Amino acid sequence: MITTQTLIDAGIFTLKTQGDPAKSIKKVFCCDLLSIAMGKAPAESAWVTVMGNRNTLAVASLADISCIVLAEGTAFQDAEIECASQEGIAVFATELPIFDAALKIQELLS
Amino acid sequence: MEEQLIFNYTIPGDDFTRAGEASSSVKNKLKKMGLDSGTIRKVSIAMYEGEINMVIHADGGAITVEISPEKIRMILADTGPGIADIDKAMENGYSTAPEEVRSLGFGAGMGLPNMKKYTDYMNIDSTVGVGTTVTMDVYL
Ligand SMILES: Nc1ncnc2c1ncn2[C@@H]1O[C@H](COP(=O)(O)OP(=O)(O)OP(=O)(O)O)[C@@H](O)[C@H]1O
Ligand SMILES: [Mg+2]
């Protein structure tokens, strides 16, 4: 099993805020539509998305998602980063497309 | 144990940056009460979907959360436009969300189905032009 710390150590994405590094990551999930993520993202997952707004964070927090990976160069504003940090949710960013970013996490998982 | 805890929230109508605050507040309260994480997650998901629906579709409303030894009951009442065809609204993928909220990631038409999926009981009482009241229970 890997944790957010594993993802930080792997150095594959840019770390925006580390949240709680001890949170486990059991699966990787991809979707940009919030209510699909809300209904289908497993608890303790890494969520790869290009949807970078406050609502992304609310969904991650309420659905017990461990970390958010913003793909395709998507960025949160400073207020969102601050909020993620308070919620203990790690945020990473990458220029990679969603699939490639998720594949890198999957490689760490298996 | 007979005690029942009641929390009331007013949900502002147009504020997407604050949407979800009531659900987060309830989540934190349930955590402090020591409920198991699976139950908390169900309540959080269902309440958030209802809360955001009030913001998007009904210009806000009021939420009451009642916690008793048997269940957590969420009552979401608004005086918005109402839902003409509840069966249709419950279908996966049905959405009337306007373009500006779709660009924020809403509008998959999965909010009401999520509320159904993550609760043990759900009822929608709605009258066009009067408003909508959604009642949801998660059994403890
Ligand atoms: N409180 C409400 N007042 C009026 N109409 C509502 C309300 N809640 C839901 N609806 C109607 O039911 C439809 C389906 O709701 P649902 O939550 O499933 O999808 P959505 O909100 O459109 O998109 P999302 O997947 O982001 O939740 C809405 O598009 C809207 O037409
Ligand atoms: Mg909805």
What's the pLDDT tens digit per position in B84-119? 999 999 999 999 999 999 999 999 999 999 999 999
* Region A2-109: CATH code: 3.40.1390.20
pTM over 0.90: yes
**pLDDT, average across residues A88-101:** 97
Residue length of chain B: 140
| CA distance linking residue A102 with residue A62, whole number of Å | 21
| pLDDT the model gives residue B85 | 98
Please report the ipTM that was assigned to this predicted complex: 0.94
Whether A82 and chain B come into contact, CB under 8 Å, resolves to no
Q: Are the Cβ atoms of A55 and B107 closer than 8 angstroms? A: no
Q: Quote the mean pLDDT of chain A.
A: 96
Which of B16, B48, B75, B95 best tests ligand 1's pocket when mutated (most atoms within 8 Å of CB)?
B95
Q: Are the Cβ atoms of A64 and B41 closer than 8 angstroms? A: yes
CA distances from B26 to A25, B33, B46, B125 (A): 25, 11, 12, 23
The number of angstroms, rounded, from the C-alpha of B33 to the middle of its chain's C-alpha atoms is: 21
* Region B5-139: CATH code: 3.30.565.10
> For residue A6, with 0-12 CB atoms within 10 Å meaning exposed, 13-18 middle and 19 or more buried, which class applies?
middle
Centre of ligand 1 to C-alpha B127, Å, is 15
Q: Is residue B123 helix, strand or coil?
A: strand
Tokens standing for A95? 């220029």
Q: Are the Cβ atoms of A62 and B114 closer than 8 angstroms? A: no
| CA distance linking residue A101 with residue A86, whole number of Å | 25
Q: Give percent of chain A above pLDDT 90.
A: 98
Ligand 1 nearest-atom number relative to CA B97: 22
| pLDDT the model gives residue B19 | 85
Nearest CB neighbour to A62, from listed B27, B108, B117? B27
**pLDDT, average across residues A13-38:** 97
- Is the per-residue pLDDT at B8 higher than 60? yes
Q: Give percent of chain B above pLDDT 90.
A: 93
Q: Are B8 and B61 in contact (CB under 8 A)?
A: no
